Structure 1
Amino acid sequence: MIQNDSYSFHKNSSYFFLFLALIHEQIIEMIVFHIYLKKEEPNIALIMLALHIYSVIYMLGDYNLMRNSPIRIIKEKVVMNIGARRSLYFNLSEIDYIKPASIKYNKSGGIINEKEVFHATAFPRILTIIFGISDELKYEIIFKKPVNARGYFGQKQKTNKVLLYMDNSSEFVNEIQKRIKITVATTKFV
């Protein structure tokens, strides 16, 4: 019988330090803006205070959701929820192959950001694009045909492959490969 397995992706990520810095920045900015704007524009001060409180609550919720929602393999399905930001669900039968991966750079040394790729990483992709900061890329899963992923604000997007920046990515890949072999073996006998 195949069991359900969970794999974390946040423990070795740089996201925790970014998270602390952003929370710290939001709280300081909230206090400073509120003190300054309260004298000048009290209505705007209240709006800014509400927006800052919302952003702090959103970041806390996103981080806790990411910590408590590891990447899972449930029977023959892989479930990847990256906090409240992105998600991808696919069947093992949709995988073409898995191979070791590395970040690709252009001639000037910038990171090449491929299209139609799902990044299984805790670190926000926008910061990788802007600053060139990223967690360590381990493997990539290539699909036979594009699958649907959910992005920011529920946007659906086609994805051709998944780049894994996980804590124990080799264990995850080994388990997927083992389950694919079991699935292929059982379909041959049926």
Structure 2
Amino acid sequence: MVLSRKSNLLVFLVLAMIVLAADWMAIGGMTPEDEKIVSLGVTFDLVLVVPLLYYLCFVRKRAKSLLSVIPVVFAGYVTARYVLPSTNERLMSALQWVIFPLEALLVCFELAVVYYEIRKLVQVIKAYRVIRQTEAHVMDAARAAVSEVFGDRALATLIFHDVAVFYYSCLAWRQKAFTKPDAAAFAYHKESSWFYLMLMVCKLLILEGVAVHFLLQEWSHQAAWLVSASHVYLIILLVADYNAMRLNPVLVDQAGVRIQYGLRISADVPFSEIANVTVAQGMEIPKEEWETTVGPMFEQPNTAIELAQPLKVRGLFGIRREVGKIYLTLDKPEQFRQKIGEKTMYTRMI
């Protein structure tokens, strides 16, 4: 990340120096007859070309605000006033009436973006309050509200993922596991080793984060804090994932199987889509099935749900993909298999 940032800055500086060197040579060889055209060209380079290079090489790749280009535009304007002959005062006076409205336009654009975000947030809150009246699960209501406002797009999945991480890491500590009156619940966190693995990884992230922070601080303060922030986010993500595991058992109701395996697997599987359920200790997912299956990370599954046809499931960060088999690590896999057998047999009889 730091090397990429430095390479982008280096590219901008090289290109800007080439443009400025050409302008300097043009000013040095300027004759009275060429004064107007050279002044216009130099002003164009300083006020528009160099800021455009800064935007393409630095701002756009770092997804920064357009307002960060304004100081470069203003610096080019000030430079043009000092390097060009005083006979071009009229050009400079005219140019300032272009620059300042442009800056005002950018400020208005940023304010419009802020207004849009606030308006969308209000819409999500209103939609959530309406959906929550009929939806029992908090996060299912939040997902439906975000989808209603933003549509079925990648932006909606990312927004919901961040909302879920915040909820499970900060707001859900006193909540009880979600159940339905007519559903059988199957926990998967009580006999899992994920809790101890999470603690170990968090400990390593803290120790490594402190060491890496002081090491990078000798090179770049920004890089040190960026890496530290990524370590903190990973810790929050792990805590949120475990809390989601604790609060979301696998549910088998009249409609099918509701799977919310932490933040890593989310799917609603109708009984009509279940071809078979296999239970075995220490299952290994074959390499040739990695692209068409989904399962718990860093744990050996003991339950495999084979689907009649590919089904879309949501994974970490809301990434969707079609799978033909879902692997789980359940506390009571045999009881789960029996329950699925009862439900599928009853469904087929109907």
Length-normalised TM-score, structure 2: 0.44
Quick check: which one's helix share is greater? 2
Provide Cα deviations, 1:8-28, integer angstroms capped at 9, x if missing partner: 112222222221111001111
Matched AA of 1:18: L
SS of 1:178 mapped into structure 2:
helix
Once the 2 structures are TM-superposed, how far is the Cα of residue 155 of structure 1 from its aligned partner?
A: 2.5
Provide Cα deviations, 1:87-128, integer angstroms capped at 9, x if missing partner: 121101111222344635xxxxxx633241232x3xx1xx4x
Provide Cα deviations, 1:156-189, integer angstroms capped at 9, x if missing partner: 222222233211011111111112222233x2xx
Q: Which consecutive unaligned segments of at least 5 residues does structure 2 have?
A: 1-180
Matched, 1:49 2:225: no
Q: Distance in 1 between matches of 2:202 and 2:271?
A: 38
1:49–1:171 Cα change, 3 Å: same
Q: Distance in 2 between matches of 1:163 and 1:86?
A: 10
SS of 2:304 mapped into structure 1:
strand
Matched AA of 2:305: I
Which of 241, 259, 283 is the equivalent residue of 1:103? 283
Once the 2 structures are TM-superposed, how far is the Cα of residue 39 of structure 1 from its aligned partner?
A: 4.1
Which of 265, 284, 304 is the equivalent residue of 1:140? 304
Q: Distance in 2 between matches of 1:20 and 1:7?
A: 23
After the TM superposition, which parts of structure 1 deviate over 6 Å for at least 4 consecutive aligned residues? Answer: none
Matched, 1:117 2:296: no
1:97–1:41 Cα change, 3 Å: closer
Provide Cα deviations, 1:29-68, integer angstroms capped at 9, x if missing partner: 2222223333442222222222221111111111111111
Alignment RMSD (CA, Å): 2.2
Segment drifting more, 146-155 vs 55-64:
146-155
> Residue 154 of structure 1 corresponds to which residue in structure 2?
318
Alignment of 1:1-190 (within 5 A): 3-101=182-280, 103-104=283-284, 112-113=286-287, 114-115=289-290, 116-119=292-295, 121=296, 124=297, 127=298, 134-135=299-300, 137-185=301-349, 187=350
Q: Which consecutive unaligned segments of at least 5 residues does structure 1 have?
A: 105-110, 128-133
Provide Cα deviations, 1:117-147, integer angstroms capped at 9, x if missing partner: 232x3xx1xx4xxxxxx42x43322222221
2:191 and 2:331 in contact (8 A); partners too: yes
2:279 and 2:337 in contact (8 A); partners too: no
Quick check: which one's strand share is greater? 1
Over the matched positions of the two proteins, sequence identity in percent amounts to: 26
2:283 and 2:302 in contact (8 A); partners too: no
1:40–1:14 Cα change, 3 Å: same
Matched AA of 1:5: A
2:279 and 2:333 in contact (8 A); partners too: no
SS of 1:3 mapped into structure 2:
coil
Report the number of matched residues: 167
Matched AA of 1:163: Y
Q: Distance in 1 between matches of 2:328 and 2:219?
A: 49
Matched AA of 1:58: L
1:66–1:174 Cα change, 3 Å: same
Q: Distance in 2 between matches of 1:14 and 1:20?
A: 10
Matched AA of 1:71: V
Segment drifting more, 18-27 vs 163-172:
163-172
SS of 1:12 mapped into structure 2:
coil
Q: Of the two, which has the highest radius of gyration?
A: 2
Matched AA of 1:112: P
SS of 1:177 mapped into structure 2:
helix
Once the 2 structures are TM-superposed, how far is the Cα of residue 86 of structure 1 from its aligned partner?
A: 2.2
